Chain A
Amino acid sequence: MSMPTTTIAEDTVAPRRSNALLAGLRAVFLRVGVLPFFLFATLIAFSLVSKEFLALQNLTNVARQSVYLILVSLGQMLALVTGGFDLSVGTAIALTSVVSALAMVTLSHMLSPDMLWLVIVLGCCAGLAAALVIGSINGLGVAVFGVSPFIMTLGVQSVGAGIALFLTGGVPVSGVPYEFGDILGFGRVFDIPVPVLVAIVAAATIWLVMNRTRLGKHIQAVGGNAKAARLSGVNTTKVLFIAYALCALLASVAGLLLTARVGSGETNLGGTIALESIAACVIAGVSLHGGIGRVENVVLGGFFIVLLQNGMNIAQIGSYMQMVLLGSLLVLAVILDQFRYRLLVGER
């Protein structure tokens, strides 16, 4: 952080002023987490590197590219707020992509061309259903059998990836209807790109769920203190199950949009998204301890990660080095989260 510059005349006032500044920064840190600081630092750093970084054109681009990560991060947030996480979001995307593409290709051979819309809708449903299965298995393991989220979602990650590769033989599924990509990938409604619109609707829905519904409060309660939630009559098993199912569904929506964008069913669409979505959430102040997380910040967190990647591209930082930086940033954010949680909730 840059030091405030002090003139000679202000010398006596300076300590008090910098104290107030520190207190202000501390309050922001406690409320929102590290995101404002990271965002600020990124904006400064990359705008120094290149003028085009802060250009409206570039920022709109970043916003459009960040849609997919934002969707996945919203789901990831649900898992994190319950006190777990979901490493299998990438698999949910891959499976959605492969299954929806396969379904569309198969159905378009079976049905007449004027039933194209039915083909697309059914294909999307197949993709969502595949992800729902993934989410349900996660939910079953974590909620009913009490498997740690780490092992459960890590295992399912491998299972899902294996199935996706098995279904396709590792070859992209081509022959997806052109209209599918035209609408979901590149379409515009009221001049807003469809993917952006989907993300806005999803974010608004999740905001409503988390802040104004019983389910949302119960998700927060389970993550905050599962035992207390149970003693208060919350069905913790059900809540956990739903959280993982919703997480997979949101990833699945991102998977559909990505499939539409690339125009084929791909097994490698969700490659690094588990790490990125967890990073986006943690940087946005979602606590790994559970119970804490705000939807609006997570949206900004997803945007931040993509912005950072964009900035690194502009600054011509190689993709290998980008991996190093992103991983380090995640760890740094977690360390700061640890610190913040202690300040918020106390030692216990």
Chain B
Amino acid sequence: MSSVAAPLVEMTGISKEFPGVKALSGVHLKVERGEVHVLFGENGAGKSTLISILSGVFRPTSGAIRIAGDEVSFHSVHDAAKAGIGTVFQEFSLVPTLPVFENLYLGRELMRGPLTDRRAMLAGAQRLFAELDFDIDVTRPASSLSRAQQQMVEIAKAFLSNARVLILDEPTASLTERETERLFSFIGKAAASGVGIIYISHRIQEFQKIADRISILRDGRLIATVPARETSERVLIELMTGRAVDQVYPKIAHRADGPVIMTLEGLRTAGVHGASLEVRAGEVLGCAGLVGSGKSRIWRAAMGLQPLQSGRITLKGRDVTGAATRALLNDGVFFLPSDRKSEGLQMTATARGNIELSLLDRADVAGPFGFVRPRRSRALTDAIGDKVGIARPAMDRAVSKLSGGNQQKVLFGKGFGDDRDVYIFDEPTVGVDMGTRMALYQLIKDIAEAGKAVVVISSDLPEVMNLSHRLLVFAKGRIAAELSGSAIDEENVLKHFFAETEGSA
């Protein structure tokens, strides 16, 4: 029987083995009522496996789970939901074509005889949204909602089954700063009402605002559980990586008089309403802004990835307005897309195969009649692999089997096949662990210090602030500010983030 004193969630000695891999070994986790408990660790540290076990996706190899003192054993997500565990997975689990209220009740429709009770579901959804203070029309199709609103619906869905424990897996990954604020105020409310919250995140600055305790995982083991208020960022990173970290962000030497390599003038495209900028050699140009501010779309338009409405683009003094993506790439531009899975990599090909694609046009690789010289190509791909830090055995494995960090390294590697003049990195470290991050920052430093022009577009504010020599802040499709040197500080940047964005829901 449950006792009042028992913790809400108690996982003891949880181990999980997959064929050939020990994902978790002997992990303990305790979550109290009303607590916001953060799980922190590098990719592959076991965070996702741990919550997958708690939410019924996997069964542990050994160990016990108690919910409010009662030992439980979940065979499915459904089982866990019945025990009051609501999980908001990283990937949204909404059906875009169905209206919100039908999404809420999907899989547990209210029935009246053999037919679904549409009216009762509609009323139930409205009641729940009113209770949660979410202002969303429940008859709208899920596809018409913003990311944040979809997130709200996901959370509401978890609450519909009276969740006592709410698991949020990287919930802010696709949210804007303001949407994140709303989510946090909600998390605060939920915790105050006694719900236990397990929050998984990479973003230290962010979760320190809401966390009560932080559990750090590394290599499938629990390293420590620490009170959030008394633990500094530096300590957390050291606990996570297991090594002292002097500085995550390298100091990049700035060549002040670098010539202008690329210019965008009066560029207009969907989501960008006239913006001009120039890119200089030996300098890192940062682009910050909320999701939807146009910081990414301006470059996508310049690269020919979305229709250009007007404006002029020059590269090394030549007009390349409206040039095809392929032409720009051949002309010495490297573009690293933000979504490696859908735009960056051939997921079923090997790491080597992916890197090789960027070599095929090289005269020394393409031999007579354009046939590839295998030995030459192999040597070059190996060299690139070494440069970006991919272990040799990983080179010949399918990219889909590699960790997120290694995948991102492969994506970076595609930029080293040929000599380029401009490197555009759109979200260079998205979904990547701290160790890989630091390796990628080092690569960016090397490129910039070799005299190349570098553009870093990022939603990760500390990242883009620390890497940039010059920082453009985008808001509502325009450049709200250009900051450089010591003017780049968080307060200053954030001020421009919201300068013009009132009313954008």
Contacts and interface: CB of A to CB of B under 8 A. Distances in A.
Contacts of A231: 77, 89, 93
A217 interface: yes
Contacts of A232: 93, 103, 106-108, 157
B96 A224 contact: yes
A220 B143 CA distance: 14
Contacts of A287: 97
Interface string A208-237: 100011100110110111011101111000
Contacts of A227: 91, 93
Contact of A225 (B96, B108, B114, B157): B96
Given A212-B115, A229-B106, A224 B78 contact: no
Given A208-B115, A232-B107, A234-B107, A292 B97 contact: yes
Contacts of A318: none
A212 B116 CA distance: 5
B93 A345 contact: no
Contact of A212 (B76, B107, B118): B118
A346 B94 contact: no
B463 interface: no
A224 B103 CA distance: 11
A344 interface: yes
A116 B501 CA distance: 78
A139 interface: no
A221 B95 contact: yes
Interface residues of B, number: 27
B106 to A, nearest CB: 4
A140 to B, nearest CB: 23
Nearest to B114: A213
B95 A225 contact: yes
Contacts of B77: 231, 233
Interface string B106-141: 111101001110100000000000000000000001
Interface residues of A, number: 25
B102 interface: yes
Contact of B97 (A212, A233, A291): A291
Contacts of B157: 232
Contacts of B78: 233
B108 A233 contact: yes
Contacts of B93: 225, 227-228, 231-232
Q: Output the residue of A231, A233, A292 with the most chain B CB within 10 A.
A: A231
Give the most central of B81, B92, B96, B111: most A CB within 10 Å.
Answer: B96
A65 B78 CA distance: 48
B443 interface: no
Contacts of B107: 218, 229, 232-234
Interface in A284-303: 287, 290-292
A54 B110 CA distance: 46
Interface string B260-280: 000000000000000000000
Interface string A45-60: 0000000000000000
B63 to A, nearest CB: 24
Interface of B: 76-78, 81, 89, 91-98, 102-103, 106-109, 111, 114-116, 118, 141, 143, 157
Given A221-B98, A292-B97, A346-B96, 5 more contacts: A220-B95, A221-B106, A232-B108, A291-B97, A345-B96
23 contacts: A214-B111, A217-B98, A217-B102, A217-B106, A217-B109, A221-B95, A221-B98, A221-B106, A224-B95, A225-B93, A225-B96, A228-B92, A228-B95, A228-B106, A229-B107, A232-B108, A232-B157, A233-B76, A233-B78, A233-B81, A233-B108, A287-B97, A291-B96
